[in-house]
Amino acid sequence: QVQLVESGGGLVQPGGSLRLSCAASGSIFRFYSMGWYRQAPGKQRELVAAITSGGNTDYGDSVKGRFTISRDNAKNTVYLQMNSLKPEDTAVYYCNVRNRIGEYLAVWGQGTLVTVSS
Question: In the chain, how long is the greatest CA-to-CA distance?
Answer: 42
Say if residue 1's pLDDT is above 90: no
pLDDT digits (tens, 9 = 90+) for 3-26: 899 999 999 999 999 999 999 887
Say which residues have a Cβ less than 8 Å from residue 3's Cβ, sequence separation at least 6. Answer: 24, 25, 26, 106
pLDDT digits (tens, 9 = 90+) for 28-72: 666 789 999 999 999 999 999 999 988 999 999 999 999 999 998
- Phi first, then psi: what are they for 14, rounded to 5°? -55, 135
Q: 10 Å Cβ neighbour count for 101? A: 6
- pLDDT of 76 reads 84
DSSP 28: -
Round to whole Å and give the CA distance between 40 and 89: 8
